[in-house]
Structure 1
């Protein structure tokens, strides 16, 4: 089997992410642990390959399309993910710690939070939230730390990037496919993929709660940047106004808005 290299260029910075391909003829993402120490910035895929053939064994079985693939039976779930796969996956995910959130970068915020910072506080939101009938709080915590995981490869694609929702979803789906293959493709990979798909589709009570946490974390961070750096970040509050789906989302958003009104 020959290796083919694909180059992914940063939109505004000079980082180049070189990855050997896996065998399918489309966007190719394979991670080399040797590259984990490279400085990272938001990566924007420059994709020109044709769509994946429908007949190919695809990630659709994990993310919801096609017939589900039963996980390989295991007698010891602790050993389900080989150590080498776990460390490769976690090393790739380190990029979430070093990739700044694009919205803040574009507004010249100093020392902007990373994608991982954002997901971590969302996880805390789920942890401290009150019990809600019909909502699995543990699942919300898991979903919070998974919902932006594909950005380890594609970067933080925001509405101002000029990328359609369909194209954004395609890029992220293929990135997640690679990450789940890297993780070993077993039960844990399936769980990650299902959580991500459920969040993207806003398809469950947990997804609705976590979608609200996503917006809440953003406006809370905006408030903190306004207080600490004297920024006017009204657009972030306007973009979320009237879009909260849950009682907890609405209540916490009102509290944040109230505190914003009181600031000097």
Structure 2
């Protein structure tokens, strides 16, 4: 019994060159903090996002779990070039998405055409959020960020209240996301010493 054919040496070399470039994501820092107070990397965020998806995968019907995980792995790859922009600093019309997509295309340049098209296609799917997998990826992405904020050793002036409105359109698009969000919001309220009730949101 024979298995799939081995990729050519040229294809292996191209993939390795791409992986060399994506390794920069380990040094791309985000605003989130680890439990010890170190800034997390985008690679760490993407890893825990995928773990989050796997752990809730059995609660998802009519969803291609492998495709969802692929989208989660790919969604921030472009940040390896231009870095991350914290949500609190993002502004409408800042061309951030177009810049990140262009960076992704640059990053994917060493890849064979089929792999390059797949990765850019997954990023586009995430950006457009039209498929069930992309909708879930966007929602889980917001939840992972809020989870990090709720367990990290943050600066004394950290704005927990920002998280209570952060990503609501994305996390309201699926019942599972909303259920997880409710518990994460409860954590956030307990951390926000100035929060007094629903009217103060």
- The interval holding the TM-score normalised by the smaller chain is 0.7 to 0.9
Closer, same or farther: CA 178–258 of 1 in aligned 2, 3 Å: same
- Alignment TM-score, normalising by the size of structure 2: 0.78
**Structure 1's 201 and 84: CA in aligned 2 closer, same or farther, altered over 3 A?**
same
**2:75 — aligned with what?**
147
Partner SS, residue 148 of structure 1: coil
The aligned counterpart of 1:111 is 38
For 1:156-184, what per-residue CA distance to the aligned partner results, in whole angstroms no more than 9, with x for missing partners?
13455566546222222221222222112
* Equivalent pair of 1:96/1:114 in contact (CA under 8 Å): yes
CA distance in 2, matches of 1:249, 1:81: 42
Q: Which residue of 20, 25, 40 corresponds with 1:96?
A: 25
Higher Rg:
1
Measured in 2, the distance between the counterparts of 1:165 and 1:196 equals 19
SS of the counterpart of 1:182? Answer: coil
Check 1:79–1:166 CA distance in 2 against 1; reply closer, same or farther (3 A cut): farther
Aligned length: 184
Structure 2 alignment gaps of length 5 or more: 194-201
Tell me the CA shift for residue 77 of structure 1: 6.8
Does 1 or 2 have the higher relative contact order (CA < 8 Å, sep 6+)?
Answer: 2
Counterparts in 2 of 1:138 and 1:254: CA distance versus 1, 3 Å: same
Which 4+ runs in 1 deviate beyond 6 A? none
Aligned residue for 2:100? Answer: 172
User: 1:137 matched to which residue of 2?
Assistant: 65
User: How far did residue 92 of structure 1 move?
Assistant: 0.9
Q: TM-score, normalised by structure 1?
A: 0.61
Q: Deviations over 1:175-207 (max 9, x none)?
A: 12222221122x222211111100001120000
Gaps of 5+ in 1: 1-74
**CA contact 2:138–2:170 (8 Å) conserved in 1:** no
Residue 252 of structure 1: CA displacement?
Answer: 0.8
Alpha-carbon RMSD: 2.8
Which of 156, 175, 184 is matched with 1:247 structurally?
Answer: 175
Which residue of structure 1 aligns with residue 125 of structure 2?
A: 198
